[in-house]
Every structure is written in structure tokens, then in C-alpha cells.
Amino acid sequence: MMLFQDMAQDPAAADVMSEEKTLSVIDLIFNGGTGSVLIISVLFIMLFVALYIYFERIFAIKAASKIDSNFMNQIRDYVTNGNLDAAKLLCAQTDSPVARLTEKGVSRIGKPLDDINTAIENAGTLEVYKLEKNVSILATVAGAAPMIGFLGTVIGMILAFHEMATSGGQAEMGSLASGIYTAMTTTVAGLIVGIIAYIGYNHLVNRTDKVVHKMEANAVDFLDLLNEPL
């Protein structure tokens, strides 16, 4: 009760206490010194790259997964009726990995089934490569960001111990705080960037696998169509 009375009597003391309890993210970054600012700047760039790749890939994968549910039925009708030109045209007008695989198979109708299967597999490999474009960078960021954060931790602790050594064990707390700030803030920043990149990478891998499974299912349907008796 006396504490609140003292604060009421001394507004300046209350303001100081309020300021001491408040620490913004900007203050946390810049109070760590030059080393902290540099390392967190690198981590910020890595975070921007990771987010850009994630959203660019997620939209690309979403577009690749879209296909008319009636697509294979139309292909079946065209192939069964011997209208291969119409089947090729439909594939060309449908912008999706499934359509491109089907077009590759339709263009080789009349050749041995093994040749058709090989052509579809080769085209599928190329489509998977397109879907996974730049995704490996996310994995790199997920692994490298915490390591860079830990590098900042080591640098910060070196600075703190160096200050203690050069001052003969009489270093001021304010001087040590800079090194400790660098150690703590870079560690937190590195872990945050690493976690975001790791989650984004695994989500993209999961979405890509779903598209690949859809491609494989449609490729099997097309090969079964060719094996059906006319």
C-alpha cells in the first residue's frame, strides 16, 4: 500500500518504473549493438526470402492441382473414338501437370506400351521438378537460421567475457548488457526464422505430394484406358 502511495506522490518515479518495464522489439534489436543488428538483418532477409518462396510455391501448387473432374472422361471418349487430335487439343488447352502428362501419352499412341509409359514417367519427373522449384531453399533457411542465431550467441558471449577480462573483473553491467543482448536476441530471431521456414517447407512438401499422387493416379487411368479392349 505504501508503494502505491509513494508512486502517487512521485509521478516521475512512476513514469521511470513504467519505462523500465516496457521494452519494444526495436529496442531489443538495437540495444544489442552492431553485431546483433547485422545478424538480425541477415535473419530478416532470410525470413523475407522464405516467405516469398512459400507463398509463390503455394499459389503455383494450388494452380497445378486444379483440373476438371470430367477431364479424363473426355480423354477416354476421344481416345476410344480415335479422335486423337481432339484429345491433344483438350490437353493443350488445360494448363495442369496432369494434362501435360496425358498429352505426352496421347502423342505416343500407336507405339509400344512401354514406350508410352516411359514418356509419361519422364514428363512426370519434369513436372515434379517444376513443382519443387526453390523449395530446397526453404530447407536451407530452416537449418541455417538457427545456426546463424547461435553464431550471434557465441559472438555476444565472447564480447561479454572480453569486457570482463579487459576490465579486470570490474566491468559495468551496462557494458556487459550489450554482449548479452546480442546473445539472446540473435538466438530468438534465429529460432523464429528457422521454425517458420521449417513449417513452410513441410507444408509445401505435403501439398506437392498430393499433386504427385494425383498425377500418378491419372497416368494409371490413362494406361488402363490403352489396355482396354476396343
What lies within 8 Å, CB to CB, of 118 at 6+ separation is none
Residue 225: name the closest of 121, 104, 77 by CA. Answer: 77
Average pLDDT over residues 167-174: 59
d(CA 164, CA 172): 9
- Is pTM beyond 0.85? Reply is no
Residue 109 φ/ψ, nearest 5 degrees: -60, 135
Q: pLDDT at residue 33 above 60? A: no
d(CA 152, CA 130): 36
Q: How many C-beta neighbours within 10 Å does residue 95 have? A: 12
**Tell me, what's the pLDDT at 38?**
83
Q: pLDDT band at residue 168, thresholds of 50, 70 and 90? A: low
What lies within 8 Å, CB to CB, of 44 at 6+ separation is 189
Which three cell numbers mark 2? 505504501
d(CA 130, CA 123): 11
Average pLDDT over residues 128-150: 89
d(CA 66, CA 105): 20
Average pLDDT over residues 98-122: 84
Q: pLDDT at residue 40 above 90? A: no
Q: pLDDT at residue 120 above 80? A: yes
